[in-house]
Amino acid sequence: MEVRKEKDLPWFRLQQWYFYGAAVFFSYGRFLKAKVAMNAVNAADPATARGLSWFVAHHSLMSYLAWMFG
């Protein structure tokens, strides 16, 4: 019986979890993008509104960079 070769790769399981986290970040961020945009407009704190609007504007770039970094 042949042992699975991926067990010989260093940090293989950590890499799988990293890509899972990057995919969840992308999916969950896309799902909440409209809600965050609406909350940023209605936020009482201007710093929170700026942070949320920055997140919405750069979410796709952050997702892409996380995937490419992995």
Residue spans of the domains in the chain: they are 24-70
Per-10-residue mean pLDDT, the chain, length 70: 69 88 88 68 69 80 91
In this prediction, residue 36 carries a pLDDT of 65
Exposure class string for 1-22: b at 16+ Cβ within 10 A, else e: eeeeeeeeeeeeeeeeeeeeeb
Find out whether 19 and 70 touch, Cβ atoms under 8 Å: yes
Alpha-carbon 36 to chain mean position: 15
How crowded is residue 56: how many other Cβ atoms within 10 Å of its Cβ?
Answer: 18
Cβ-based neighbours of 4, under 8 Å, separated by 6 or more? none
